[in-house]
Amino acid sequence: MNARRFRPHLPGRLQHPGPLRYALMYALSVLVLVGLWWGASALVKEWKGGREFLPNPVRAISEMARLASHWFPNFLISAWRLVLAILIAFSLGYPLGLLIGRERRLDELISPMIYIVYPIPQVAFILVLFLIFGIGNPVKVAIVASALFFQILISARGAAKNIEDTHVTSVVSAGASRWQVYWHVILPATLPSILTGLRVSIGLGMAFLYIAETYGTFDPRRGGLGAFIRANSYSAAQAFAGILAMALLGLILYVAIDLIERLVCRWKYPARRSS
Amino acid sequence: MIELDGVVVEYGRGRRVTRAVDGIDLSVGEGESLALIGPSGCGKTTLLFAIAGLYQATEGSIAIDGEPIRGTRREIALILQDAGLLPWKTVWQNANLSLKLHGDYPEKTAEHVLAELGLSESKQRFPTELSEGMKRRVGVARALSTSPSVMLMDEPLASLDTLTKERIQDLFLKLWSRHRFSMILVTHDIEEAAFLGQRIAVLTERPARIKSIVGNPAMGDLEYREQPEFMETVKRLRDAMEEEEVDE
C-alpha cells in the first residue's frame, strides 16, 4: 500500500479556512477562470476567422464598467426577484419537507404527488403561467419559486429521514414533545443539508429567472438581467456584461449562504470559533 | 421501587411481529443498582427503553413506586450508548436540555452538576471539540440535572478505551453512592456489570428472558476490581453466559 496516498481526516481548522484564506482562494479561482476564459476566447476567435463571439475577459469587463448604469438597475431587479423566490420556496418547502420526512402518513399521502409532478420539467409550465398571470413581477417570482420549491422540499424530506435515531431518542427520553423534537433536533440537524440544497438550487433558480425575464419582458430597462442580455444580444461584449452581472449575483448569493451557514451551523466550525 | 411484572415487548405488525422481551419479572429497590447483561441484540435495550417509557409493554406491567409507566417521566433519566449529545448544542445547552424541555430554568442545577463532573471550563464547547470521555460526562450531566430517582444506562461506555472506561465507571459508582438513585445498567461487558451491579440479571438470546440473577453484595468500592470477590463474580457471570450459549 502506498502510504503517501493516505489522507487523514483534517482537523476543523484546516477543513474550514479563515476569512483571509477564504478570500485568497476566491481570488485564485477567479484568476484561473479568467485564464481559461481568455484561452477559450482566443480559440473561438481563431476558429471563427477573427469574429468575436466570445469576448475576452478584458473586453467584457470594460463593457461591463461602461454599461454599469444600464445593467445595475436590472441587477437589482433580478436580485430581489431571486431572493424573494428563494424566501418563498424556502419558507414553504423546508417545513413541508421536514413534515413529510418525519410523519409517515403525510409522506404516504404527499410523496406520490411529488413523484408525479417533480419530473415534469417546470419550463413546460412557463408559457401557461404567462398566459394566466401576465408578464408582471409576480409570475416571474412564481416561476423561480416553483422550481426551487421542489428542490428544497426534496432536500428537506431526505435530510429529515436521515436524522440519527439516537438524537431523537435522546430528547424524547428527556421528555420532549413532538414540536420540541422538531425544534431541538429536526430543524438544526437538517440545516446543513438544506443549505447545501439551496446552493444547488441557486443555479437552477438563475436559469429559470433568465428564461422568465427573457421571454416575459417588453421593457429592457426594467426587465432584469435576462431582458438586458436579450436586448444586447446583437453585441457579444455587451451581452457578456449582463452575463457577468448574473455571475456576480450568483456569487453574492453563494457567499451569503456560506455566511448564513457559519452563523446558524456554528457547531460545524468549532475549531475557529473557540480559538 | 421499580417493578416489572411479566413484561413482554413486541414490535412489528401482523406476521412480522418480533418478540424482543418475553415475560420479565424483576424489581429494583430504591437506591439499588441492577445490571442487565446478555448477548448483543438479545432485547436488553428494548427492555430498558420500555422502563424509560419509550416503548409500551405489549403484556405485563412496569411501575415505579406503584404508578404504571405510560410515557417518559421527569424522575427517570436515560443515558444512551454514545451519550446522545446533540452536536449543534454546546456542553451547557446539552446539559440543560432536560431542564429546558420540562420548562424549568434552575440553571444553578446544571451549573452545579457540570462543576461536579469537571466540565465547568468546557461549557461553551461543542461535542465535536470534546474527548469521548468528556462526551460521556456531559451525557451524565444532562441526566443528573433533573435530580432523577431512576437512572437508566444503555451501554453508556461502549466503544471507549479501557482506561477511560474504568475512569467513567468509577465516576458512575461515586455518583450512585452520592445521589443514591436506582440504577439499571444495560451492558454486554461482564466486568462492567460486576463493578456496577449490586445484582446482575443475565438475559438469554432474543427474546430476552432472565436466565439467572447473580448477587454481588461486595460491590461499591472503587478498589473492588482488585478484590477476589470481583474476580469470583466475573467468573460466575461468564459461566452463566456460557451456559446460555450451550443451551442454544
Confidence of residue A2 (pLDDT cuts 50, 70, 90): very low
Beta carbons of A175 and B81 less than 8 Å apart: no
Q: Which of B88, B98, B142 faces A267 most closely, judged by CB atoms?
A: B88
Percent of chain A with pLDDT over 90: 39
Q: pLDDT band at residue A15, thresholds of 50, 70 and 90?
A: low
**In a domain? residue A98:** yes
Looking at residue A219, its pLDDT comes to 66
Tell me which residue in A166, A175, A176 faces B80 most closely, judged by beta carbons. Answer: A166
pLDDT class of A221 with cuts at 50, 70, 90: low
Q: What is the pLDDT, as a whole number, of residue A91?
A: 95
Q: What is the CATH number of the domain that holds A183?
A: 1.10.3720.10
In angstroms, the separation between the Cα of residue B245 and the nearest Cα of chain A is 30
The cell numbers describing A243, all together, are 452575463
Q: B83 to chain A: nearest residue by CA? A: A170
A72-77 average pLDDT score: 92
- In this prediction, residue A181 carries a pLDDT of 95
CA A184/CA B85 separation, integer angstroms: 11
- Considering only alpha carbons, which residue of chain B is nearest residue A175? B72
Q: Lowest mean pLDDT: which of A249-258, A265-274, B194-203, B227-236?
A: A265-274
Helix intervals (H) in chain A: 12-15, 19-47, 57-66, 68-102, 104-117, 126-133, 137-161, 165-173, 178-181, 187-215, 225-231, 236-264, 270-274
Closest approach of A266 to chain B, Cα-based (Å):
7
Residue A51 resides in a domain: no
Of residues B61, B51, B71, B120, the one with CA closest to residue B91: B120
Residues B124 and B11 occupy one common structural domain: no
DSSP bridge partners of B154 = B186
Q: Let me know how many helices (H) and strands (E) chain B has, helices first.
A: 7, 10
**Of A170, A267, A274, which is closest to B80 when you measure between CB atoms?**
A170
Query: Which residues of chain B neighbour A271 with C-beta distances below 8 Å?
Result: 129
**Could you tell me if B63 and B11 lie in one domain?**
yes
Interface test with A, best of B76, B81, B86 (most A CBs within 10 A): B86
Which range among A18-27, A81-90, A139-148 has the greatest average pLDDT? A81-90
In three-state secondary structure terms, B237 is helix
Split into its structural domains, chain A has a count of 1
Q: Hunting for cell 403561467 — which residue is that?
A: A129
Please report, as a single letter, which amino acid is at residue B132: E
B225 shares contact with chain A (CB less than 8 Å):
no
* Inside any domain, residue A50: no
Q: Please give the Cα distance from A201 to A239 (Å, whole number).
A: 24
Q: CB–CB of A169 and B86 under 8 A?
A: no
Domain range for B14 is 2-75+150-247
Instruction: Identify the weakest region by mean pLDDT among A6-20, A26-40, A192-206, A240-254.
Output: A6-20
Residue A165 structural domain: 71-268
User: Are B121 and B39 in a shared domain?
Assistant: no
- B60, B142: one domain: no
Whether A174 and B101 lie within 8 Å, measured CB to CB: yes
The pTM is what?
A: 0.81
Q: Is B185 on the interface with A (CB under 8 A)?
A: no
**Chain A residues touching residue B142 (CB < 8 angstroms):** 174
Do the Cβ atoms of B86 and A173 come within 8 Å? Answer: no
A106 inside domain: yes
Give me the number of domains chain B comprises. 2
Confirm or reject contact between B81 and chain A (CB < 8 A). yes
Domain assignment present for residue A182? The answer is yes
Residue A113 lies in a domain: yes
Reported as a single tens digit per residue, the pLDDT across A138-171 is 888 988 998 899 989 999 999 999 999 999 999 9
User: Which residue in B has a C-alpha nearest to residue A177's C-alpha?
Assistant: B101
Report the gap between the CA of B87 and the closest CA in chain A (Å).
Answer: 7
Which parts of chain B register pLDDT below 50? 246-248
CATH of residue B205's domain is 3.40.50.300
Inspect the interface and report whether the beta carbons of B125 and A189 lie closer than 8 Å. Answer: no
The dihedral over CA atoms of B180, B181, B185, B191, expressed in degrees to the nearest 10, equals 0
Model confidence pLDDT, tens digit, residues B122-173: 889 999 999 888 998 899 888 888 889 999 999 988 878 888 888 889 989 9
The minimal CB distance from B52 to the residues A166, A173, A270 is found for A173
On whether both B190 and B239 belong to a single domain, the answer is yes
B40 touches chain A (CB under 8 A): no
* End-of-domain residue from the set B126, B147, B168: B147
The pLDDT of residue A1 is 43
Q: Compare CB distances from B129 to A172, A189, A270 and report the shortest one's residue.
A: A270
